[in-house]
Amino acid sequence: MDILETHAYDRRKKRNMSCALFVSLLPFFLSSALYFYLWTPDSKASLMTAGVKSAPALLLAAAVLSWKGGQSVMGVAGGLLFSAVGDCCLVWPELFLHGMGAFAVAHLLYSLSFLSSRYTAYTSSFTRFLYLILTVFGGGFYIYLFPFLQKAPDSHLLTPGVGIYILLLTLMAALAFRTHHVATLLGSLSFMVSDASLALQVFNVVQPFQYGHIVVMVTYYLAQLLIAVGDVKAEENGDDFSKWKRS
């Protein structure tokens, strides 16, 4: 088999994998569409609401498990399962801390996955610069939130809890950049945008606006999708960040 035949074979293999991956993600797309179709600003907390909201993360976890097997339980699939728990908790405002704790565990599992041998680590001056930007953003955002956290009824729990959560979220994003997988790093950034939007509204930094919930959920589902796709394709693509920068 010459070079041209090998290249054509690789292209067919990647195309077939992309088609199969898209088919396995169809339940996620359908459940996400169902959530936005059913959600209204006056939706009441209920088991049905929790189930519809958490279904996309659960279906993504099932898709990752079908591709990566049980090993992903302690990685991205496990993170998606804990995210589904967090989704359920956040339906009831009184369970906000429980939900934040579930998402904190999810970020830990994502971080463990990004540190695994399936993701090749790359360190450069540009990557270190990105680490610095993420650290400054995370620390600055916590400082900005601090006075609003102090006004919350359960500030003695929220103030340190939010600080730890932001630290874990920033760590997850930094490790995502370390992998140099475009889908993974864009997913981590989308997660940060989603959580920042949610925090600004929950802690009354800004007045809830008309499409505030939509912004939070669209960026959240997009983040989970990109992280899941990045995990499935981690072994296939290698360092695609450098290619993305050159394109």
**pLDDT per residue over 202-246, tens digit each?**
998 988 777 899 999 999 999 999 999 999 988 644 444 444 444
Average pLDDT score over residue span 31-48: 91
Average pLDDT score over residue span 183-198: 96
**pLDDT per residue over 44-96, tens digit each?**
889 999 999 999 999 999 999 999 888 888 999 999 999 999 999 999 999 99
Q: What is the mean pLDDT of the chain?
A: 87
- DSSP for 96-156 reads HHHHHHHHHHHHHHHHHHHHSTTSPP---HHHHHHHHHHHHHHHHHHHHHHHHHHTSTTHH
Q: Residue 12 — very low, low, confident or very high, per pLDDT cuts 50/70/90? A: low
What are the sequence ranges of the domains in the chain?
Answer: 3-246
Q: Residue 186 — very low, low, confident or very high, per pLDDT cuts 50/70/90? A: very high
110 pLDDT exceeds 80?
yes
For the chain, the 3-state helix, strand and coil shares in percent, each to the nearest 5, are: 85, 0, 15
**CA-based end-to-end distance of the chain:** 29
Average pLDDT score over residue span 13-26: 82
Number of helices followed by number of strands (H, E) in the chain:
10, 0
What pLDDT, on a 0 to 100 scale, did the predictor assign at position 246? 41
Place of tokens 């939070």: 216
